[in-house]
Amino acid sequence: MPPREGPIGRRCERAVVTAYRELRSHGVGDLAAFNACATLYRIHHPEAQVEEARRLAAEWIDHHVVRGDSGPTPGCDCG
């Protein structure tokens, strides 16, 4: 996995990306880690539907972890 980039602005996004990295580093499979992170997003945002949680988790994980990109990502206005 690419090295960690600078701080992520959104609290929920930080949580999702951190959780995914740590789950994977402890041997959890990709699909299970992803599903856990989508659930984690809904803990931060109980109003979000499952589809939105999966969409954003995918965006963030693909952006930060898979591709190691910097730059803005779509999502909420969490501080």
Positions touching other proteins (CB under 8 A) are 30-31, 34, 50-51, 54-55, 57-62, 65-66
Residue among 24, 18, 22, 56 nearest 38 (CA): 56
Q: Which is nearer to other proteins, 51 or 77 (CB)?
A: 51
Q: Which is nearer to other proteins, 27 or 79 (CB)?
A: 27
What is the Cα–Cα distance from 26 to 37, expressed in whole angstroms? 15
CB of 62 to other proteins, least distance (A): 4
CB of 19 to other proteins, least distance (A): 13
* Residue found by looking up tokens 């992803």 in the block: 34
